[in-house]
Structure 1
């Protein structure tokens, strides 16, 4: 009787626990009210700086118009090469067609670029080292761009992926292993639509249910990504994409459910309204300029080091942001409560262009000294409104306030709204002169000489115990 009683109790206990886990696992329903109620995992807001990678068959022609061609921002994206060959109605598109016929011939099809996507110099461990040394905390790879070619052996992209065709490698899997081996978070960009997929053009509903959703689930199940960064959502509302149904699965049942972060590109109506983090792109939300927006929700700016995401051989030095500009951009986004997802565009043979490596190395050098003012911080609620003219920025962490100068000041800096705290300068060992008066604190920057200057680009004062 005792054994039977014990067995009964254990069965009841296990059943109760199973019911509890099942209840918890099904807490998110397939509607935006429920999906939007899920908190953004803390790791994302602490990370602040990530690396975007646009790599695919578009990296073979690696060409697009640039600003000197007087084209719009979206027309400069070399990863849109295939689309530009078939559409001569928008600015910049005819020049792509002319380049293609000159460089490859009128009969050269986009599919033929698969032969050139060799990746023979692709070393995921080397990439991971570059990203770690840059100070990045997460990486997002284009698992599939709008061309439909996947960087993993997707069954839905049979004979149109990096394993069936050149380079005959599981690029997504190799990079995931290398990046996670460095302790960084790994994620994937995924395009919902595909420009020229016959099924998509013929029957969107069948495309979504038999191609897109199974493909996304396969990606998540194989690699357990920390980020799923969707795009190409603008053709249809989220209902057509069955976005909430997929997200309910992702949050409730997928192997990534505990800490996965998603963005807001799940339907033509969702940016800055639904999903996970909100996204800006070269300071735009669609066509609205976000450079002075107050964004209360967790958000992320994405942009290239150059004016394109995919590698563009047509770009020159003036098309690339300088190291100072990139550090200033990082400071601006973090001070406004956001993250920076900075893109690199590898070459078709698997190299990260040296100019991009140099920019990342400079950012890493700066972050080694000043990262305390970036990682794990939040927006200071008393900060003056940030504008494109702002040169003094603020972040906070616990009881500490950070004052970030993107332009050196030889005159005192006064911070309103605080009256206490101990002031130091990150990377500088000397004493800092401070004056406290009423509800304000004034810092007199020290006289810096080359041998004691901690940074070439931006400088940080830490006010310990100010909050």
Structure 2
């Protein structure tokens, strides 16, 4: 099918099925902003360059004046960005062990600095200056044969690009679109997460023109998943998968549960995407909180895109790595309730219970260790229904019963040391009616 250059046609393209099956991806914010790695306690550290230009005193300007002095400019951080400890193979191994099925690597943030070799940003990319390395190339190669797909984030606008400041539409035609096409055809990403679209409608960015090319002519047309950030009017309405960020579409709107299009929640483990050295351990979500968040999103038909912010030397901070590996260990036991699953009908949201379905099975995800009896209000009782706790090596049988038409599970005493799972416990329900 060929798509026309209008939203009515472009919006008929289905989101490739692999994305809805994947459920869990990793966002990576890494760039010049990783050198100062600082923001206010609840701010985004990747906005350092913008905050530094503010006419009003803020946490960033105060930090910069105190630590860097009055003469150092944001662009000067390129000399300090050497990525001397970056090992693409190490990252790929962490991502594989996390259970993630795709990544979104920030190829260019709003500062315009590119993390790949490009013909469209001479002397403002990681290959020509700084570390003199093409990180998109290294990382995409390292992910081959790992089961983790390589994808990219790319900012539509650039804070300080002279052409953008003078004429945004010319900037789109002469700079943005050629760079996007170069990025797509060189690295063949599975995802394209655009951002920084809010200042102008999609017509200014020529988004329909680009997506028509992406869907009809590009080498990735059969599998690439773009998002919905293509203009000031598009989030949650137009494009590929819909995106939320820390729970909302644009800081105000929540995603209508009836949209029907796959969606993806992106957020950091803490409050920032880029590494913020101003955060402490208590600012980071625990493994239990992150795993429950994943279960909650998947039960609603969504994906979790969880961000890590490496340091300027190229290392993923140990606490972030630990969180990823904790999620991976949980998915190794309970992945059948997550990967390839879909929403379970119109299941009501119950306290400490979420539901998914896959094939002929329904899965109940319990946010507490199963003691005694538990009624699953959204599952009808049927005498033939059988319940199995994933990761339980005790051999104990779960009895089922009828509680006013709902399925009641009666758990025998389960020794915790016989459980491979932690944090959230998945029960596979076989022979569920309806």
- Asked if Structure 1 and Structure 2 have the same fold, meaning a TM-score greater than 0.5 normalized by the shorter chain, the answer is yes
* Secondary structure of 2:115 counterpart: coil
CA distance in 2, matches of 1:184, 1:194: 29
**Counterparts of 1:280 and 1:298 in 2: how far apart (Å)?**
11
Q: TM-score, normalised by structure 2?
A: 0.96
Question: 1:87 pairs with 30, 49, 54, which one?
Answer: 54
Q: Give CA-to-partner distance per residue, 1:194-222, whole Å, 9 cap, x none.
A: 00111100111210001000000000010
1:408 aligns with 2:369: yes
Q: Deviations over 1:330-352 (max 9, x none)?
A: 01100111000000000001000
> By how many angstroms is 1:448 displaced?
2.5
CA contact (8 A) 2:226 2:240 kept: yes
SS in 2 for 1:156: coil
**Contact in 2 for aligned 1:414/1:443 (Cα 8 Å):** yes
- Cα displacement (A) at 1:294: 5.2
Identify the match of residue 31 of structure 2 among 56, 64, 67: 56
CA contact (8 A) 1:150 1:157 kept: yes
Distance 1:254 1:110, change over 3 A: same
SS state of the match for residue 270, structure 2? coil
Corresponding residue number in structure 2 for 1:254? 218
Distance 2:410 2:252 in 1: 39
Question: In 1, Cα distance between the equivalents of 2:349 and 2:331?
Answer: 24
Write out aligned runs for 1:418-429 (5 A).
Answer: 418=380, 419=382, 420-428=384-392, 429=395
Q: CA deviation at 1:382?
A: 3.0
Matching residue of 1:18: none
Q: State how 1:20-31 maps to structure 2 within 5 Å.
A: 24=1, 27-31=2-6
Correspondence for 1:368: 332
Matched, 1:453 2:419: yes
Partner of 1:32: 7
Q: CA deviation at 1:417?
A: 4.2
Task: Output the CA distance in 1 between the equivalents of 2:135 and 2:53.
Answer: 28
> What is the CA-CA distance between 1:267 and the residue it aligns to?
0.3
Q: Which residue of 2 aligns with 1:7?
A: none
Structure with the higher helix share, 1 or 2 = 1
- How far does the alpha carbon of each residue in 1:102-143 deviate from its partner, in whole angstroms, 9 at most, with x for none? 111111011100011101111011101000100000011000
Aligned-residue offset at 1:410? 2.6
Counterpart mapping for 1:329-340 below 5 A = 329-340=293-304
Q: Tell me if structure 2 keeps the 8 A contact 1:54–1:346.
A: yes
User: What is the CA distance between 1:95 and its match in structure 2?
Assistant: 1.7
CA distance, structure 1, for counterparts of residue 174 and residue 357 of structure 2: 47
Q: Secondary structure at the match of 2:407?
A: strand
1:396 lines up with 2:371 in the alignment: no
Give the match for residue 104 of structure 2: 140
Following superposition, the deviation at residue 413 of structure 1 comes to 2.1
Given the two structures, how large is their TM-score scaled by the length of structure 1? 0.89
Question: 1:97, 1:132 → 2: CA distance?
Answer: 38
CA distance in 2, matches of 1:417, 1:163: 56
Relative to structure 1, the CA distance from residue 228 to residue 288 in structure 2 (aligned partners, 3 Å threshold; closer, same or farther) is same
Quote the residue 1:8 is aligned against.
Answer: none
Cα offset, 1:409, TM superposition: 4.4
* Contact 2:23–2:339 under 8 Å retained in 1: yes
- Whole-angstrom CA distance in 1 between matches of 2:295 and 2:259: 15
For residue 407 of structure 2, what is the aligned residue in structure 1? 441
Supply the distance in 2 between the matched residues of 1:291 and 1:413 (Cα, whole angstroms): 31
- Secondary structure of the residue aligned to 1:287 is coil
Q: Counterpart in 2 of 1:151?
A: 115
After superposition, the CA RMSD in angstroms is 1.5
Q: Which digits, 9 at most, give the CA deviation of each residue in 1:139-195, with x for residues without a partner?
A: 110000000000111111110000000110110011011113312111100000000
Distance 1:226 1:291 in 2: 24
Q: Is the 8 A contact 2:244 2:255 kept in 1?
A: no
Kindly tell me the number of residue pairs found equivalent between the two proteins. Answer: 428
Q: How far apart in 2 are the matches of 1:201 and 1:437?
A: 65
Q: CA deviation at 1:453?
A: 2.7
Asked if 1:466 is matched to 2:427, the reply is: no
Alignment of 1:108-127 (within 5 A): 108-127=72-91
Say whether the 8 Å CA contact 2:386–2:431 is kept in structure 1: yes
The CA distance in 1 between the partners of 2:26 and 2:214, in whole Å, is 23
- Measure the CA separation in 2 of the matches of 1:380 and 1:197: 47
Q: Is the 8 A contact 1:139 1:179 kept in 2?
A: no
Q: Is the 8 A contact 1:294 1:336 kept in 2?
A: no
Q: Residues 295 and 336 of structure 1 are in contact (CA less than 8 Å); yes or no, is this contact kept in structure 2?
A: no
Aligned equivalents of 2:329 and 2:258: distance in 1?
A: 30
Match of 1:180, SS state, is coil
Larger Rg: 1
Counterpart secondary structure, 2:143: helix
Residue 399 of structure 1, CA deviation? 1.1
CA distance in 1, matches of 2:252, 2:207: 24
